[in-house]
Amino acid sequence: MSAVCHRCGGTKALPLVPCPFCNVIPKGDERPVAWLFSSAHLDESELKLASERIRLGETPDPSQSLRALAARNLQPTRNNQTLTPRQQIGLIALNVGLTPLSGLAVWWGLSATRPRAAHQALRITVPVMIVFSAVWIGLIVTRLFG
């Protein structure tokens, strides 16, 4: 990725890093504007033209719709993928073969990045936990009182 500084028109590697020419670090409302002047939004010829125009003294003033587009692209994305059938079978085997705590670990690990997959992992793990708990309680009760 490459970018053009929205203040001086200098080239830099990424849009949100400090400019090596003017030392400006895009902060706050400048971050979406800085993203607009990157190869994620413009091609190389457009970046070159933008650099020349900024160096000639033009001040970038993108529209609200462009700023909104940039703000959406700067937000971290959440992956809404579900578990594949093979992963679901593996999780069931992991829960039954080892312990339901492994299913809870999978749920916790996926909860921040893949919320739908985490929900699936929990829906698979909770019934296994209930069955295991009932079996263990049954064994303990029969040992103590039977």
| The pLDDT of residue 117 is above 90 | yes
Q: How many Å apart are CA 30 and CA 6, to the nearest integer?
A: 9
What pLDDT digit, counting tens, does each position of 9-19 carry? Answer: 999 999 999 99
Instruction: Give the whole-number percent of the chain exceeding pLDDT 90.
Output: 87
Give the three-state DSSP class for 117: helix
pLDDT number for residue 1: 85
Give the CA angle between residues 133, 119, 83 to the nearest 5°: 105
Residue type (1 letter), 122: L
Give the whole-angstrom CA distance, residue 145 versus residue 34.
72
The average confidence (pLDDT) of the chain is 93
- pLDDT higher than threshold 90 for residue 74: no
pTM: 0.54
Average pLDDT of the residues in 93-104: 94
Lookup result for tokens 């090596």: 20
Task: Report how far residue 115's alpha carbon sits from residue 76's, in angstroms, rounded to the nearest whole number.
Answer: 14
- Is there a contact between 77 and 40 (Cβ–Cβ < 8 Å)? no
pLDDT of residue 78: 62
Question: The tokens 């698979």 sit on which residue?
Answer: 124
